[in-house]
Structure 1
Amino acid sequence: MSEKFHIKSKGTLGVFRPINNVAVFVRAAGEYGIDPQKILIGSGIKMSELDDPLRIITAEQEIMIGRKLAQLAPSPLSGLDLGSHHHLISKGKLGMAAMCCETAFDALKLMLTYIDLASSYFQYDLKVDGKKGYVRMKELVSLDDFHLYVFETEVVSLYTICSMILDDAHIFKEMHLAFPAPKYAARYRKIFHCPIFFDAPEHLIIFDAAILDRPLKHANSLTKKVLEQECRQLCQRLNENVTVKNKIRHELMFLEGDFPTFDQLAHRINMPERTVRRRLAMEGTSYKDILSDIRKQKALELIAAGDCSMEKIAEKLGYSEVAGFYHAFKAWTGTTPANYRKGTR
């Protein structure tokens, strides 16, 4: 390999993804003494579907279930606890294909190429310069109060996968993390076996570039070729049936800032306004209906989280007055926000 190298994974979050991560959430729920059925309530996903390798879900469904798992855990659940469950085998065909690659570099390149199958929420920017390698992790969407949980889950998953591929627990040399040190900061060094620097300008992992040339003990070019073809087909399938409604829900669910006007929304999904209206009518919905449903879902999540005032929630959802939010919430649920919050405790 040359002394300088640079590749990136895709810079947008796909609407659809495999069901693999939800299967991990359900197994983890059982280990934490939580009824798995409870974390699936309202998601549109059945227990019987978890064993279907072709079942695809939305990122929105996955986040909803992840939030419920965190909320129902008997003690505060860190992403550090959950990340190790997201190992190589949990990634399905993609994980198996990575195991069959010739070198660690080939495996990493494969994972970045088919990143949609890894159900990631980050863009990975891999750069090699001389003897050092650098991985930058950039959030693809705003996850508000859930961003630390998701980051911890993903970075532990990354470490677990790389450690399994290389059969080496000391693959990271330094980690620079773009958030303040949490109360349990000592756990980071224990898990990753390297110096940790918090309050960094970006998420950055530094490693010895020589590990990329290491041969993998399960390398099998024929099996890898077959599995990679299946990965390619799965990625194509994820993008086949994306409706305009899917696209709009995806935009609004992971939006940072104010909800867009209809013309702004049409621009965001790169479609003429007239086409958006026509397609939504054909799908039996409207922008107003989708926006109302997203506001309801976000309101339920923010209230259940318990760390946001009603005034702040109303502001986040685009209501100029709290009274407007209260009226909408009562129409959605038949109860008040305060009573709903009491019921979630």
Structure 2
Amino acid sequence: FELPNVELPVASADPGLGQLLAHRAQAQLAENSTAFTLRDRARHWLRNNLQGDEALGARLAKAMHLSERSLRRQLAEQDTSVRALVDDARRERAIALMERGTVNLDAIAEELGYGNASAFGRAFRRWTGQTPSAFLDRQRSSE
């Protein structure tokens, strides 16, 4: 087609249908833009980028296209924090690794950004009420 023809009206156009479709498209766009809160987007990013602990808040803020201060403020408005989201992501990842059979606690601790296995063990006990070893024993006995 030629570019000047783009501006010509369509002979069989239905203005009412066009208006209805435009309205539905606008509604869908509005719904999609609010469907995922900052908390949801941050959780998703953390699940995929949890390696290490250095500057995790700064990296998350950059990924969310916010300053660290704005990130903290907006998360507080959603009743959460960077620390809480990181803690949740670490818990989910630790349990997934242990359920999958990764039993080297030093490797899990390192992957999750803990300084050593005992720091990881304390966090795991806080999350689950049991030690990593007890969790693994339960996993083995249920198989």
| Structure 1 residues 85-100: aligned runs within 5 Å | none
- Residue 80 of structure 2 is aligned with which of 285, 288, 298? 285
CA contact (8 A) 2:75 2:81 kept: yes
Question: Hey, what's the Cα distance between the residues in 2 that align with 1:233 and 1:338?
Answer: 53
- Residue 267 of structure 1 is aligned with which of 62, 82, 86? 62
Q: Are 2:132 and 1:337 aligned?
A: yes
Question: Hey, what's the Cα distance between the residues in 2 that align with 1:307 and 1:324?
Answer: 17
Question: Hey, what's the Cα distance between the residues in 2 that align with 1:333 and 1:268?
Answer: 30
- Aligned residue for 1:248? 42
SS of equivalent residue, structure 2 residue 35: coil
- Residue 119 of structure 2 is aligned with which of 321, 324, 327? 324
CA contact (8 A) 2:102 2:108 kept: no
* Higher percent of residues as helix: 2
- Aligned residue for 2:101? 306
CA contact (8 A) 2:46 2:86 kept: yes
Question: Hey, what's the Cα distance between the residues in 2 that align with 1:342 and 1:299?
Answer: 15
SS of equivalent residue, structure 1 residue 239: helix
Question: Hey, what's the Cα distance between the residues in 2 that align with 1:300 and 1:277?
Answer: 27
Quote the offset at 1:319 in angstroms.
0.7
Question: Hey, what's the Cα distance between the residues in 1 that align with 2:90 and 2:28?
Answer: 30
SS of equivalent residue, structure 1 residue 297: helix
Quote the offset at 1:293 in angstroms.
1.0
- Measured against aligned partners, the alpha-carbon deviations of 1:176-219 in whole angstroms (never above 9, x if no partner) come to xxxxxxxxxxxxxxxxxxxxxxxxxxxxxxxxxxxxxxxxxxxx
| Structure 1 residues 77-116: aligned runs within 5 Å | none
* CA distance 1:341–1:274, change in 2 (3 Å): same
* CA distance 1:264–1:234, change in 2 (3 Å): same
| Structure 1 residues 177-188: aligned runs within 5 Å | none
Quote the offset at 1:235 in angstroms.
6.8
Q: CA RMSD in A?
A: 2.2
- Measured against aligned partners, the alpha-carbon deviations of 1:149-189 in whole angstroms (never above 9, x if no partner) come to xxxxxxxxxxxxxxxxxxxxxxxxxxxxxxxxxxxxxxxxx
- Aligned residue for 1:115? none
* CA distance 1:316–1:235, change in 2 (3 Å): farther
TM-score w.r.t. structure 2 length?
A: 0.71
Question: Hey, what's the Cα distance between the residues in 2 that align with 1:248 and 1:303?
Answer: 24
Question: Hey, what's the Cα distance between the residues in 2 that align with 1:241 and 1:234?
Answer: 12
| Structure 1 residues 1-345: aligned runs within 5 Å | 236=29, 237-255=31-49, 257-259=51-53, 260-345=55-140
Unaligned runs of 5+ in 2: 1-20
TM-score w.r.t. structure 1 length?
A: 0.31
Equivalent residue letter for 1:341: L
**Could you say which structure has the larger radius of gyration?**
2
* Stretches (4+) displaced over 4 A: 232-235
CA contact (8 A) 2:39 2:78 kept: yes
* CA distance 1:234–1:342, change in 2 (3 Å): farther
Equivalent residue letter for 2:64: I
SS of equivalent residue, structure 1 residue 249: helix
